[in-house]
Structure 1
Amino acid sequence: MEKLKDAVVWAEIPVLNFDRAKAFYSRIYDYDMYEQMMGHHRMGFLPMDPDARGVGGAIVQGQGYTPSALGSKVYLNAGNDLSLVLNRVSLAGGKVIQPKTKITDEIGYYAVFEDTEGNHVCLHSMN
Structure 2
Amino acid sequence: MAARNIMVWGEIPVTDMEKSVAFYNKVFGYEMTIDNSGPNPMAMLGGVMETAGAHLYPGKPAADGGNTIHIDLPDTLEAGIERCKAAGGEVVSPPISIPSGRFVYAKDLDGNSIGLYESTE
- State the TM-score, normalized to the length of structure 2: 0.45
- State the TM-score, normalized to the length of structure 1: 0.44
